[in-house]
A and B are shown apart, each in its own frame.
Chain A
Amino acid sequence: MLIAVFGPLAAPHGPLAYVDVPFSPPSPGVSFGTDNLGRDVFSRFLSGGQSLLVLSTLATILGVVLGGLLGAGLAVVRGPADEAAMRAADVALAFPAIVLALMFLSLIGPQPWLIVLVVALGHLPRTLRVIRGAAMSVVERDFIKYGETLGFSRLRTVVTEVLPNVVAPLMVEFGIRFTYSVGLVASLSFLGLGVLPPNPDWGNMINETRAGITIQPWGVVLPLVALALLAIGCNLLTDCIGRAVGLVEVRRKDG
């Protein structure tokens, strides 16, 4: 993550500048060699994480916030609206997120806002289901019923009674979704539908430099390792959140 944020400042060459012959091996000054168009792999590597991180963060926030609100809302409202929304989620789930994204991106063209939207759209039905499930078990509990006997409005019930009690699953969900976002955004750019070339991005870097993998593996290895570390980092973070939240729950049960 540090690399993704601060990388561009430290880059020795411009990410688009021509430095040496395509697929040169590492040499002094060009520490990790050049890529298919003779650009400095290291510099491109340093600049390549930024867009990935920004896009996936935005997409995750959008998807999880919408999914969480809708999920908690549906659990409280129930009835036909809930039924209809769940069917809609079923329909959306029938498309793997990547296929959904490919469909829209191919029709409208790769735009950063569209990537955010499409990835968020991919999260929405899944988050919706998880949070609705969690909220359902909260809604069944008597303190919600108490609010009903007093006549709390539905909005009030969602905001003050249900949401505070699904914070734990919401946080875990955020972590999981963020990991997925990173993977999805990177996959899209790997398929050439993310950040437009010639701008660098770890995903499209791997794709572009794949052809020279036997002569100059650094072009692949560097972004590959970076991506892997980013994704694993996210996942570890999620796991920690999950454990922390789990511990809190256990403690609460012990009373």
Chain B
Amino acid sequence: MARMVFQRFWTGFFVLFLVSVCVFFATQILPGDAAQAILGRDATPERLEILREQLQLSGNPIVQYWTWLSSVLQLDFGTSLANGRPVADLLGARIVNSLILMGAAALTGIPAALMIGVMTAYWRDGVLDHGVTVVTLVLSALPEFVIATSLILLFATGIMKVLPATSTGSPVLSYPLQMVLPALTLALAIAPYIIRMMRATMIDVLESDYVQHARLSGLSERKVVFRYGLVNVLGAVAQVAALQLAYLAGGVVVVEYVFGFPGIGTALVDAVGNRDLPVIQAICLFIAVFYIVINLVADALTAFANPRVRHAGR
């Protein structure tokens, strides 16, 4: 099993390397002359030259990539073009903020969704099941900003003015109320998928021969559901949760923007507006790393939940 995790780790590492190549070449090489693209048509030659210097645009692309990669590995992402501060300083606090936000959404959304999913599977075709099906159908269709704006309309404007619509800019943890709506939006965005997956998986397990066999052997219903049902869903839980955590990394962009939340999402949108290449590079890389790490952890958990893999050695 250790070997498998190790293998996964290397695959992840390799993917990460390819990702870095993509990010670098997409941002630096693709637009032709990145400096020109940033400054626009009426830039003076001197300014262009300075910017090219700053972006290390001259020379062989492979050498360029190497210089860039070695500084990135030392967590030096260059300086922001918009305000001249080092990117690492600029993003450090924001990454923490975003992680807190995603964590809050995941910790509320995932367990609740798992429970609802399992319950709808167990009481299949009941009132709860039908109700949840309709709600998930609706929720899963809506883009995050629609959910976000609807929540603002509901809770932060005339209808019920109980929660702040936008972040105040104060440190996140000192004013946690500002996190409620964004976290709720994200939780609502990921929940439908988890509910559906859990429901489908649990139904499969409940219809399996071994659950039927356990029932026919006179095992108590509680034992059947927990020891024979839920145990076999655990592997799937890790996969589903990972997929949704990774999805959060994308959803967070729009949601932070709607609420003006000081995280990487707003930073990315701002950077895109300013064509702040080093910042875009850094955020894309961060999101990719996040995705790969989450998947790695999920694979390891799934493998651990499956005795076939766990005891493959014997």
Q: Which positions in A face B, CB cutoff 8 Å? A: 87-88, 90-91, 93-99, 102-108, 179, 182-184, 186-187, 190-193, 203, 206, 210, 213-214, 217, 220-221, 224, 227-228, 231-232, 234-236, 239
A232 interface neighbour in B18, B137, B144, Cβ under 8 Å: B137
**Min CB gap B255→A, angstroms:** 10
Q: Are B272 and A227 in touch, CB under 8 angstroms?
A: no
Complex Cα spacing A102 to B280, Å? 9
Can you list 18 A-B pairs with a CB-CB distance of less than 8 A? A95-B19, A95-B288, A96-B249, A96-B250, A96-B287, A96-B291, A98-B250, A98-B251, A103-B272, A107-B26, A107-B37, A184-B143, A190-B143, A220-B149, A220-B153, A224-B149, A227-B143, A232-B137
**With known contacts A210-B149, A214-B157, A231–B272 Cβ distance under 8 A:** no
**Min CB gap A232→B, angstroms:** 5
**Min CB gap A192→B, angstroms:** 8
Binary interface encoding of chain B residues 96-136 relative to chain A, with 1 for a CB under 8 A from any of its CBs, else 0:
00000000000000000000000000000000000000000
Complex Cα spacing A232 to B142, Å? 7
Q: Are A213 and B157 in touch, CB under 8 angstroms?
A: yes
- Is residue B170 within 8 Å, beta carbon to beta carbon, of the partner chain? no
**With known contacts A95-B288, A220-B153, A106–B144 Cβ distance under 8 A:** no
Q: Are B31 and A99 in touch, CB under 8 angstroms?
A: no
- Is residue B15 within 8 Å, beta carbon to beta carbon, of the partner chain? yes
With a cutoff of 8 Å between Cβ atoms, the chain B residues found around residue A97 in the complex are 250
Complex Cα spacing A182 to B143, Å? 8
Complex Cα spacing A108 to B77, Å? 22
Q: Are A94 and B292 in touch, CB under 8 angstroms?
A: yes
**With known contacts A104-B26, A213-B152, A217-B153, A231–B257 Cβ distance under 8 A:** no
**With known contacts A99-B287, A213-B157, A214-B157, A228–B142 Cβ distance under 8 A:** yes
- Is residue B6 within 8 Å, beta carbon to beta carbon, of the partner chain? no
Complex Cα spacing A77 to B70, Å? 38
With a cutoff of 8 Å between Cβ atoms, the chain B residues found around residue A108 in the complex are 30-31
With a cutoff of 8 Å between Cβ atoms, the chain B residues found around residue A102 in the complex are 253, 268-269, 272
**With known contacts A102-B253, A187-B254, A232-B137, A95–B146 Cβ distance under 8 A:** no
Closest 5 CB pairs of A and B: A96-B250, A183-B143, A235-B141, A106-B272, A231-B141
Complex Cα spacing A90 to B268, Å? 22
A224 interface neighbour in B140, B150, B269, B271, Cβ under 8 Å: B150
With a cutoff of 8 Å between Cβ atoms, the chain B residues found around residue A220 in the complex are 149, 153
Measured CB to CB, the nearest residue on chain A to B30 is A107
With a cutoff of 8 Å between Cβ atoms, the chain B residues found around residue A190 in the complex are 143, 145, 254
Q: Are A239 and B137 in touch, CB under 8 angstroms?
A: yes
- Is residue B168 within 8 Å, beta carbon to beta carbon, of the partner chain? no
Complex Cα spacing A221 to B152, Å? 11
**Min CB gap B251→A, angstroms:** 8
Complex Cα spacing A206 to B30, Å? 32
Interface size on B, residues (CB 8 A): 50
**Min CB gap A67→B, angstroms:** 18
Within 8 A of A (CB), among B146-167: 146, 149-150, 152-153, 157-158, 165
Q: Are A106 and B280 in touch, CB under 8 angstroms?
A: yes
With a cutoff of 8 Å between Cβ atoms, the chain A residues found around residue B16 in the complex are 94
**With known contacts A91-B22, A94-B292, A96-B250, A193–B138 Cβ distance under 8 A:** no
A105 interface neighbour in B141, B145, B254, B272, Cβ under 8 Å: B272
B254 interface neighbour in A191, A217, A228, A236, Cβ under 8 Å: A191
With a cutoff of 8 Å between Cβ atoms, the chain A residues found around residue B19 in the complex are 91, 94-95
B141 interface neighbour in A107, A193, A234, Cβ under 8 Å: A234
Complex Cα spacing A13 to B143, Å? 29
**Min CB gap B51→A, angstroms:** 15
**With known contacts A93-B291, A94-B19, A214-B158, A183–B142 Cβ distance under 8 A:** yes
Q: Are A107 and B142 in touch, CB under 8 angstroms?
A: no
With a cutoff of 8 Å between Cβ atoms, the chain A residues found around residue B251 in the complex are 96, 98
Within 8 A of A (CB), among B250-287: 250-251, 253-254, 257, 268-269, 271-273, 275, 280, 283-284, 287
Within 8 A of A (CB), among B224-251: 246-247, 249-251
- Is residue B27 within 8 Å, beta carbon to beta carbon, of the partner chain? yes
Measured CB to CB, the nearest residue on chain B to A92 is B22
Most buried by A among B26, B145, B247: B145
Measured CB to CB, the nearest residue on chain A to B272 is A106
